[in-house]
Structure 1
């Protein structure tokens, strides 16, 4: 008898994703395409990097992701021919970061599991569910538990600091209610002055002035705000403190969250001082 026996066939696993869709996946999946940067990083941190065959051009963490896997386009413009060539047995995406038409086209041919995340609870559930999906339940459960504990140990200020969080310039756009960033702002000790609005509204300079934030947070992504933009916002809202912040630690809802709570503590200390 030959010692080189073929691998046993993968058994089907049926799960419900965060959109309420039933997804049947060969278990364990061996050829994974990730359409979301934060979930790509999660797969690698769960020890599944060798199974990730396709990523987007925005999947910058870890650095080896784009070196060893095929880049299949962006989060909102997939290269369907490249994906077909990879023969994936699982595609992982997200409701907000990907586009419905592209997801539907992929789902007609492959198992597509989607996350839908607007707060920390959703993110922790996603981490655990992905762990089950890819056969790394123990690691995922431990990671989620560590993140949950780190956030539980945050000491919120007696009075949250009124803040505006900018994600874009020309036009100015902020994170408002119903976003993951808004949930992170609250946990970091800030009160979102644009919470009465929804999602990512455009705002005018006069609206920012009228909102009277004590702090204006300029995110490093998706728009690359930097030190050169501080004077621009200081002129609009002179009393406010302007702070460049790490957008990944406010908006990436995968394993990068294990660093967010400590960052928020440091940021709050810098604001208070």
Structure 2
């Protein structure tokens, strides 16, 4: 019986909290949704406080192979904890893994999961446009191959110019990004917080779409509204 859950992934924290917030006893400092969630904070996704997690005596720890470090998860397992690690690179994987997490927690399938699948079945897409998608600067880092965010953008008509790169998050010099002559630069507000004053100026002459990072990178209840919100933000760049 799962009665005590620690989540090391913001998206999974929100997914469980939407159905059964009482199960959550610990979450990372980055788990900001729902805003009213009151649980013990166990530091970040990359530097969890293992001692604090162990002290919470969770029946289950939720993690992700990309967001959490293998060494930390191995330490939790060595201490006897049950650690569920999700693997998400595409929207279908996200929906499947969310279902697995909720079933492991013995929670019924929530309406928002089917609503998310329906919302993404025929999302409001742009005509295909070639784009670069920075997620960091100093150094400039972009979406590369096999990323969840890249899959969502592709479903909205955005052709990622680095989708075939050998790395998932390659560091690309700014002059090389310019040399690609993109139709659009997509600038999310996480993990790097791009804003109207920080990001677009580096791509003068190229339309810049400032997009909600949670809609682009989180997999959970936010997926229901994400296609409409992202589509509107992408379209706004061409006005």
Q: TM-score, normalised by structure 2?
A: 0.94
In structure 2, distance between residues paired with 1:183 and 1:189: 10
Partner SS, residue 237 of structure 2:
helix
Structure 2 unaligned residues grouped into runs of 5+:
none
The answer as to whether partners of 1:128 and 1:137 remain within 8 angstroms in 2 is no
* Structure 2 match to 1:183: 151
Match of 2:25 among 53, 56, 79: 53
Q: Aligned pair 1:74/2:44, yes or no?
A: yes
Establish whether residue 258 from structure 1 lines up as the match of residue 224 from structure 2: yes
Structure 2 contact 28–41 (Cα < 8 Å) conserved: yes
User: Deviations for 1:107-162, whole angstroms, at most 9, x for unmatched residues?
Assistant: 121110010100000100012112211121232xx3221111111121434x4111
Higher Cα Rg, which structure: 1
- Answer yes or no: is the 8 Å Cα contact 1:92–1:112 preserved in 2: yes
1-side partners of 2:141 and 2:40: how far apart? 32
Rounded to whole Å, the distance in 1 between the matches of 2:197 and 2:233 is 20
2:182 counterpart SS class: coil
Aligned pair count? 237
Partner of residue 137, structure 1: 108
Shift in Å, 1:272:
4.1
Cα distance in 1 between the residues matched to 2:163 and 2:122: 25
Equivalent positions of 1:139-218 (< 5 A) are 139=110, 142-157=111-126, 159-197=127-165, 198-218=167-187
RMSD of the alignment, in Å?
Answer: 1.4
| SS at structure 2 position matched to 1:87 | coil
1:231-251 CA-to-partner distances (Å, cap 9, x unmatched) read 5323xxx43102211111110
Q: What's 2:89 paired with?
A: 118
The superposition leaves residues 201-220 of structure 1 with CA deviations (integer Å, 9 ceiling, x where unpaired) of 00101111111111111110
1:94 maps onto 2:94 in alignment? no
* Secondary structure, aligned partner of 2:224: helix
Q: Which residue of 2 aligns with 1:6?
A: none
* Alignment TM-score, normalising by the size of structure 1: 0.83
Runs of 4+ in 1 over 3 A off after TM superposition: none
Q: Does the C-alpha gap of structure 1 residues 231 and 69 become closer, same or farther in structure 2, counting only changes over 3 Å? A: closer
Q: How far apart, CA to CA, are the structure 2 residues paired with 1:135 and 1:262?
A: 31
Q: Distance in 2 between matches of 1:172 and 1:271?
A: 21
